[in-house]
Amino acid sequence: MIINNLNSEDQFYFNLLKSAIATTFLKNHTAPAAIEEWKGEEIVLFQEDLFAKVKARVSEKWFYTYCKKEASKLPRIDMLNMLSQYVGFRNWAAFKKEHTLKLQGKTKTKSFQFVVLALVSLICLLWLFTNTKNEFKFCFVDDLQHTPITDAVNIKIISTKESAIELKTDSLGCFSYTTNAEYITFVVKSPYYKTDTIVRYIDTNEHQLVPLATDDYALMLKYYAEGNSNDFKKHKAQLNELIADEAIIYQFHSNTIGVEVFSKEDFVRMLTIPTSGLRRVKILDRTLKDGKIVKLKFIML
């Protein structure tokens, strides 16, 4: 099967398709508006929604290759046709034709809009000269190993004047944010690092490295969930110490829409059965109380 090289026109239409995919998915699900920000549970739910509508799937590797970043080439034509059907078109050619017609219609109105746009641009320039923008840039590293944290870190920007804004770090473990304020307050949260609230002022900001403290409980749980211990009696005892008796544990399924609820006893039993499948458990989120895990989300990859 021939894979097309990605020129500027292909890139334009494929970006339109990704936006249409996100719009279609968000009609019945909750997720970030930009498909590039989807992760974990959101990708799984999209895979299931795609299968429900067009009886076909995309792998997580495919999603990361073509949707999480700017791809260097177009997907195969059969994948483009399938995704075009997902957003309501017969195939990729029909999707491109429809959007080409829309663009041509918009072009006819550009002459009329030129003066208006010029005025808007002038107003924007005046606004920029009278409003200072401060850009904050941060990258997160492990506080012990001083290595970049490449797994997505959830960022919540806190403001006294508006609702909180939620972001995620990029593949390098970094994020940036622009504001009129002289300082920024944000909360960081990650499955294997401690939640922390950070305040930084613009005069001390220059591509700052922010160390995050590892969450020992989460790392221990990850260690046992991946089947690294051969002493299953000890394995079971330590899991019982990590998890509270009243803990609520959710399993998200990669091949169905829905959530299964586990008791502590059932979850510990699953992790202490010596099978190769244990190494496929991935912890999505956890909540601690009084030094024990009281809420946990996981998925079998």
Per-residue pLDDT reduced to its tens digit, 110-130: 555 565 566 677 666 665 555
Q: H helices within 108-215, ranges in order?
A: 110-130
Q: Can you list the residues of the chain whose pLDDT is less than 50?
A: 1-3, 277-278
The amino acid that residue 273 corresponds to is: I
| pLDDT tens, residue by residue, 209-247 | 888 887 766 666 766 666 555 666 777 787 888 889 999
| pLDDT the model gives residue 79 | 93
Nearest-angstrom CA–CA distance, 126 and 124: 5
H or E element at residue 93:
helix 92-107
Q: What pLDDT shows up at residue 129?
A: 56
Residue 213 corresponds to which tokens in the numbers above? 């403290």
pLDDT at 253: 79
pTM: 0.43
Closest CA to 142 of 199, 190, 96: 190
Cα separation, 43 vs 254, whole angstroms: 9
- pLDDT at residue number 3: 45
Distance between CA atoms of residues 108 and 153, nearest Å? 45
Per-residue pLDDT, 227? 58
Q: Which two tokens stand for residue 80?
A: 């483009």
Give the pLDDT of residue 51: 94
Say how far apart CA 105 and CA 285 lie, in whole Å: 47
Cβ neighbors of 107 (< 8 A, separation 6 or more) are: none
Side-chain-facing half-sphere of 141: CA atoms under 13 Å: 10
Chain centre distance of CA 254: 16
